[in-house]
Amino acid sequence: MMSLKRHNFLRRILVGFGFRDRKKVGALMGSVVEEIRNGGGHSVVDVESKAGFGGGIEDVYGEDCATEDQVLTPWTASVASGYTLLRDPHYNKGLAFTEKERDAHYLRGLLPPAVLTQELQEKKLMQNLRQYEVPLHRYIAMMDLQERNEGLFYKLLIDNVEELLPVVYTPTVGEACQKYGSIFRHPQGLYISLKEKGKILEVLKNWPERGIQVIVVTDGERILGLGDLGCQGMGIPVGKLSLYTALGGVPPSACLPITIDVGTNNEKLLNDEFYIGLKQRRATGQEYAELLEEFMTAVKQNYGEKVLVQFEDFANHNAFELLSKYSKTHLVFNDDIQGTASVVLAGLIASLKLLGGTLGDHTFLFLGAGEAGTGIAELIALEISKKTGAPLEEARKKIWLVDSKGLIVKSRLGSLQHFKQPWAHDHEPIKQLVDAVKAIKPTVLIGTSGVGKQFTKDVVETMASLNEKPLILALSNPTSQAECTAEEAYTWTKGRAIFGSGSPFDPVEYENKLLVPGQANNAYIFPGFGLGLIMAGAIRVHDDMLLAASEALAMQVSEKHYAKGLIYPPFTNIRKISANIAAKVAAKVYELGLASNLPRPKDLVKYAESCMYSPRYRSYR
């Protein structure tokens, strides 16, 4: 007897191949089953291996998110064999296909005779990767692998996370976006440009996967600290989603990278004959708002209200507005405002073990008052307010921001953008950062300016003169935009700084001591945060979920890490960390009554772990 799951699956394949008539589908079921049993040029690949959450194809194709009329389009049917199977990155195993599989799936002769294990393939690929001296070449090799053999790509990334994160993510992904036009080989993700206006729902339906649970979307206007890279920003959603899978265990089939192309104001790209995006200046105002509105509506219509939309690397002037507008109607999360805030708050909570006192005892000074700066500032204030019972306005007074015009103070209120206004405190105007450090006497200095080298020797030495252990976070990405390097922070504070950065820095030897910088990057948070939302079937994001994520991450810092001066755990155990974050976030979703997946699993950490995608090859019977 065919299992119900398999029966339904075959039904869907038929419907997908254009058989809309229920009776015809029923009649044909038998012959297709026969055809599959006899070979007949098709073979069923182990579709269940794609299931991410709880197993079973229903989870992937979503019993509850697709009616029979909208089910699989033909190219989503997971039926492949022979040559096609080798070219399907979701199922390809290369030389790891066993003798039996080679016979059963028409692969004889299409592969050389050797059979390798996945471990041996991994070893070979790591050796190859290490031979490339140019980081961008490693990036290209990893992207090629992702296009060729998804399971192996994730196996490499998961098993070698510390080594490969800087390859598929910051800093190399920044350079990849800058050169995307010339390294572009296979399109990844969905491109939605002004040309698709009025047709966005149709475009979404062109994507081969149905069970999308996370979308990362950018409009390319502020890619890391590199500015407007237009359509070439696609590297960012692709990179972020590969971390959703590798670090958070969300199955690749549930992830959809999207770039919205409304033009670019980058002259270099506009004049580049190989530019892959729309060659026009950015649409703004109503034209921009309408395209985004159509996009958000189409997403909900196509994927339901439980799909998570992560906004990434939008410019300030759109980021705050999009978040506040769509957080009321959709499950949305802005990684640069909220993800960065949550990871920094986690580091600050952890740092109290080294610095002493409570969060409210500290004074914070930011350089940069955009998405990251004001996002972090607000979450710190919220945490202080919750912990002490002080009103939010009071808590905000511990936090000062400097932007390109100097310290944000009351006398500037009239000309400040709305997201900066809560930070305009009583003080005389100050232009230079170093003078602000002298006047405010912060215990914590945070760089979110997007501009490199702003924490000069003068600034860092002043921090060191004011604090026994100055906490310095140079968060701007990629490495070229970091406000200072780890070496500078340690040297200029005579080894006393607690230092963290957005992009990774190597440990520094200072007076025979090895000082290990932390990486305060939102990659610690968004994969586990997203997993927690998905597990609970959250329908809205709430700030308390961000606080829960921060506390969960801070709890993963152990005595062993503190002894080394670390305020973040190493990335090596990131899947375990993500499971803990997911559990705390999901618990908050249930507590707030915003969960739609009922009943609540008892042990949320175990449940999170059981949901996670495994990159191990399955055997295809």
**196 near ligand OAA, rule: CB under 6 A:** no
Residue 222 CB, nearest distance to Mg ion (Å)? Answer: 8
The span from the CA of 318 to the CA of 524, in Å, is 25
**336 near Mg ion, rule: CB under 5 A:** yes
Q: Which of 81, 302, 519, 521 binds ligand OAA (CB under 6 A)?
A: 521
* Residue 378, binding choice from Mg ion, ligand OAA, none, Cβ under 5 to 8 Å by partner class: none
Residue 97 exposed, middle or buried by CB count within 10 Å (0-12, 13-18, 19+): buried
Task: Write down the residue that tokens 């729309």 correspond to.
Answer: 278
Instruction: Give the nearer residue to ligand OAA in terms of CB position, either 297 or 480.
Output: 480
Please provide the DSSP assignment of 120-149 as one string. HHHHHHHHHHHH--SHHHHHHHHHHHHHH-
**224 near ligand OAA, rule: CB under 6 A:** yes
196-200's contacts with Cβ under 8 Å and 24+ in sequence apart are 197/290, 197/291, 197/294, 198/294, 200/291, 200/294, 200/295, 200/298
The span from the CA of 534 to the CA of 528, in Å, is 10
Look at phi and psi of residue 372 and say left if phi exceeds 0, alpha if psi is from -120 to 50, else beta.
Answer: alpha
Q: Reduced to 3 states, what is the DSSP secondary structure of residue 175?
A: helix
The answer on whether 458 is annotated among ligand-binding residues is no
Verify whether residue 240 is a known catalytic residue. Answer: yes
The answer on whether 511 is annotated among ligand-binding residues is no
Residue 335 CB, nearest distance to ligand OAA (Å)? Answer: 5
- Residues in contact with Mg ion, shown as a per-residue x/- string from 279 to 318 under the rule CB under 5 A: ---------------------------------xx-----
Q: Which amino acid is at 52?
A: G
Residue 340 CB, nearest distance to Mg ion (Å)? Answer: 7
Residue 217 CB, nearest distance to ligand OAA (Å)? Answer: 13
**336 near ligand OAA, rule: CB under 6 A:** yes
The answer on whether 336 is annotated among ligand-binding residues is yes
* Residue 341 and residue 376 in contact, taking contact as beta carbons nearer than 8 Å: yes
**442 near ligand OAA, rule: CB under 6 A:** no
Q: Which stretch binds Mg ion (CB under 5 A): 76-84, 140-148, 331-339, 450-458?
A: 331-339
**371 near Mg ion, rule: CB under 5 A:** no
Residue 336 CB, nearest distance to ligand OAA (Å)? Answer: 5
Residue 512 exposed, middle or buried by CB count within 10 Å (0-12, 13-18, 19+): exposed
Q: Which among 50, 93, 155, 240 is annotated as catalytic?
A: 240
CA torsion through residues 516, 522, 525, 531, sign? negative
The answer on whether 38 is annotated among ligand-binding residues is no
Q: Which of 43, 49, 118, 170 binds ligand OAA (CB under 6 A)?
A: 170
The span from the CA of 479 to the CA of 475, in Å, is 9
Q: Which residues pair with 193 in a beta bridge?
A: 261
Instruction: Give the nearer residue to Mg ion in terms of CB position, either 333 or 571.
Output: 333
Count the alpha carbons within 13 Å of 426 in the hemisphere toward its beta carbon. 2
**383 near ligand OAA, rule: CB under 6 A:** no
Give the interface with Mg ion as residue ranges (CB under 5 A).
312-313, 336
Active site residues: 169, 240
* Residue set of the binding site for a divalent metal cation: 312-313, 336
Give the interface with ligand OAA as residue ranges (CB under 6 A).
170, 224, 313, 335-336, 477, 502, 521-522
* Residue set of the binding site: 222, 312-313, 336, 477, 521
